[in-house]
Structures are given as structure tokens and as C-alpha cells.
Amino acid sequence: MLHPSYTDLMKVVNKDVEEGESKIVNSRYSIVMATSKRARQLIAGDLPLVSAKGGEKPLSVAIEELNKGKLKIMAENAEAE
């Protein structure tokens, strides 16, 4: 089982959304896509944003980064800065 749960991860990502605004993440699919993209970046050589234990899988590191608020998911309609 995934810890933290998808619901917990969606709460972390959407915590800064004001009342009445549309949420950044509405589905598990968005969480899966964001963490898998980050895991591929880690495999390619990017440094983890959280302390990773030896032998920890890139996807686990990506999930931990998201859960700790180190990884931000941009809405599709957000402009690049």
C-alpha cells in the first residue's frame, strides 16, 4: 500500500489553493504523472530534494518530496515563470 495515500498527497498539493479557486490536482492520475516525471529526473541524475536512504527507489523519493512540499505541481494552464 502506498504511504502516504493519494488523498493525503492531493491535500498537500492543494493546501495553498484559496476558497473558490480550482484545485491544482483533482485526480490520482495527476499525482502519478507528477511523481513518475520526477522519478525519471532522479534516474537521469538530478539530486533529491529530501534526504534519501541508500537503495531507496526513485519513485519513493519523488513521493516523499511531494509529501514534504519540496515538489510543486503546476496547473496545466499556469504560465511558465
Rounded to 10 degrees, the C-alpha dihedral 69/40/1/13 comes to 20
For position 24, what pLDDT does the model report? 77
For position 2, what pLDDT does the model report? 56
Q: How many CB atoms lie within 10 A of CB 41?
A: 14
Q: CA-to-CA distance for 40 and 25, rounded, in angstroms?
A: 20
- The residue type of 14 is N
Domain ranges of the chain: 6-16+24-67
| Segments in the chain below pLDDT 50 | 1, 80-81
Grid cell listed for 66: 511531494
